Structure 1
Amino acid sequence: MDKGACISFRGKKFETRPALIGCTVGIAYDPMVPEILMDSYHGMESFTAHPLKIGTFRDKNPSLPVFMQPKEAESSRLLDALEKKQAQSMQRRADAISFGSYRKDGGDHV
């Protein structure tokens, strides 16, 4: 698929979806009607590709290509590292021994 969301088939350009720019799509067609192609891409429903028609108007809200769409982050390496560091710091505080009150309880005997 080219940068204009078009594919070439038998010397003709066919319009597809802008979300598939840069992807490899599967094509199915009826040999009796080669002007209509069925395109498929994993994770998307099959759709019909028609011959390219260059008009005077364009789509005002084109969708982003698949590789540019935001992905849900499973976790953040930075946040994971900060959580680990904070847990270590809390453990060190819990393990620390304080001698501040030792002298107050024992009086003059050291």
Structure 2
Amino acid sequence: MPSALPVMGEVAGAAAALAGFILVFLGGIFASFDSYERTEKKSVLPRFQRRAWFGFVGFVLALASTFLALVAKWLTNECTAAVALVLLFIALIWVLYATLSDVREVS
């Protein structure tokens, strides 16, 4: 089985970039929610909460992948490297699903 250790620098960078992208996504969600009048916020709150929680989970997955990739590279630990890689793939799939569900909701 090939080693995942040589790509841990790239995994850390990609996961950190994904976490940054998700922060921008969350900022857009909060700005959109804030644009509603106080009386309208109650009716749209569940939709925005779902989006925010989806973003938060993706953010945590990406940050965990970044952290584990850095630890794996530092300690040269193959098991930690594999977990970091798997977490990055899960975070990517999670963000793809969150984005597709938002696009489906709009169209």
Task: Give the TM-score range, shorter chain.
Answer: under 0.3
Which of the pair is proportionally richer in strand? 1
Normalising to structure 1: TM-score of the pair? 0.25
Normalising to structure 2: TM-score of the pair? 0.25
Larger Cα Rg: Structure 1 or Structure 2? 1
Which of the pair is proportionally richer in helix? 2
Relative contact order: is structure 1 or structure 2 higher (C-alpha 8 Å, sep ≥ 6)? 2
